[in-house]
Structure formats: C-alpha cells, structure tokens
Amino acid sequence: MSIHADDEYSLKFAVESELDDVVPSDGLATLVIARYHKTRRRRIAGAVGLFVIFAGLGVPIGLTATGGGGARSAMLRISTFTLRLPQQYHVAPATAPACAAAAAAVPRPRVPADDAVAAAAPAGCILMLLTPAGTEPPGARPVTVGQYHAWLVPAGNGAALVFRDATPGQDLVIGESQLSEPQFLRLVATGLS
C-alpha cells in the first residue's frame, strides 16, 4: 500500500491501518521498564557525581543538618536577634557552671537567668539576654560590631557587649568568658543578625 498524505489526519489513519495487525511480544513491557530504570539510575548517578565534584571544589551546597548525628553550629535566639556560633559551641543552660563567668560580665540590672540563652565550648561560654534599657554602663567604651554600635564592658575573665535600645525599652547584652577582645568582637560581628 502506498501512503499519500493529503493532510495530517489521513496520514495518521493510514499508519494506524497498516499497524493494526502488529502485536507486541510478551517481553516488550519488561524491556521498556528495564530501560527506564537503567536510564533513571544513570541520571541519579550523574547528579550524585556532580554533587561530589562541586563539594570537592568547595562550592557551597546549602545543606544543613537537621539533628542527630551531624555536627551543627549553635544558634542563640532572643527576640528578633540570632547569634550563630562556631561548631565547638553547643547550646547550654544559662545557669550552667561554665557560664558563671559570662553571667558575671553582664552589667546590672539584668533579668532572671531563665530568660537568657547560652552556648558553651571548651574555651568558655557565650550568654545572650535582654535587660531593661539603661544608661552607658560604667567602664564601657563604644565599639562598632559589624553593622551595630555597642558598648564594650570588660569584666574579670570576660566581657560584655551592650546594644542600647535593641528592642523598645530593652538592651541586648552578650556576655562571654575566656575569649580575647578581638576574638569576641569578631565572633559577634560575623554571627549576629
């Protein structure tokens, strides 16, 4: 039979009539499914390979640990502020013995310790809390910490940063123990948002 297509419909009809008596073999479905899975496995392997290459090159991938087995950075949150800390820090109670020196660095008056958040590390403790708005703390000097202006208050083994009127009627205070002044300022400048 010769096929002469006058239009798309007649071509389709002619092909269907020619293939009307063709019956697929029993193994055709199995073959199609096997090829589909093989193609899919290759695509997944290719994606995983690219992931490994980019991770090896140091491209940030944007995956975060959601708990359990992975090492995670500690994040302290209070009001609208978040302080991201290096991986050696882990969230701890503000009343923990490791945080006593950081709590001592916080200028008075302060709120009860259960309103504070803290993170401890072998090097010391970082304590973050809100205090009633006050005046310049005694012995403080003004510093710029990232995009913020604060007062640095040295105290014994630690220091505190007081961010005046961080929220209406309250100062944000971040106290630390055991860090040098440049380390403390750099830690807060890079981690506070």
Tens digit of each residue's pLDDT, the chain (193 residues):
555 555 666 777 777 777 777 776 777 777 777 777 777 777 776 666 655 555 555 433 333 333 344 456 788 888 888 899 888 888 888 888 778 777 777 776 555 444 788 888 887 888 888 888 877 777 888 998 888 888 888 877 788 888 887 778 888 888 888 888 888 889 898 888 8
Task: Give the Cα-Cα-Cα angle 158, 85, 145 (nearest 5 degrees).
Answer: 65
Q: What is the pTM of this model?
A: 0.59
Q: Verify cis geometry, omega within 30 degrees of 0, for the bond prior to 142.
A: no
Domain boundaries, the chain: 8-57, 75-191
Cα–Cα distance, 63 to 178 (Å, whole number):
32
Contact 186, 145 (CB under 8 A): no
- The CATH number assigned to the domain with range 75-191 reads 3.40.1000.10
Contact 118, 93 (CB under 8 A): yes
